[in-house]
Amino acid sequence: MKTKTIKAITLLIVLSVFIGLFAACNSNGGNENSLIGKWRITDAIIPFTREFKDDATWVEIIEFSSEPMRVDGTYTVDGDKLSLFITKIAGKIPPDETPLEFSYTFKGDELVLISLNDLVGSEQIYIRE
């Protein structure tokens, strides 16, 4: 009786480990349809990258001069709507708290953002770095 209980507990532990490993492989880091990660815009006059982190923060590096400018913020996702809140621009707190809002989709290895508030161009295409 004790041997069967020990075998059952061992089997449950082994199954739990495999399920945990499987879930980790399918989390944001392994999902190609995840915002999490670093993205480079493909068709902008001024190149920049935007990195979405799994703690709901994002960082943008704008490369328009010899010293890139950093933009920090937080984001929310509601279905296919992405809202970007800017918390700092070049280390300073911005005066406007209006979020940049986009609908987003994935096309293969591309992230397509379509502006919902026309503060930036209508469509932006990014590739994962």
Query: Residue ranges of the domains in the chain?
Result: 1-31, 35-128
Name the CA radius of gyration of the chain, rounded.
21
58 alpha carbon, distance to own chain's centre: 7
> How many contiguous H segments (helices) and E segments (strands) does the chain have?
1, 8
% of the chain with per-residue pLDDT over 70: 73
Least trusted range by pLDDT, from 29-38, 53-62, 80-89, 91-100: 29-38
Q: Is 41 within 8 Å of 48 (Cβ atoms)?
A: yes
% of the chain with per-residue pLDDT over 90: 56
CATH class of 35-128: mainly beta
Q: Is 35 within 8 Å of 77 (Cβ atoms)?
A: yes
Both tokens of 31, joined, read 């999902």
pLDDT over 70 at 77, yes or no: yes
DSSP-assigned beta bridge partners for residue 60: 50, 71
pLDDT over 90 at 80, yes or no: yes
| Long-range Cβ contact pairs of 118-122 (< 8 A, separation 24 or more) | none
Q: Is 50 within 8 Å of 125 (Cβ atoms)?
A: no
pLDDT in tens, 25-38: 334 344 567 999 99
How many Cα atoms within 13 Å fall on the side-chain side of residue 120?
A: 17
Q: How far apart are CA 58 and CA 37, in angstroms?
A: 9
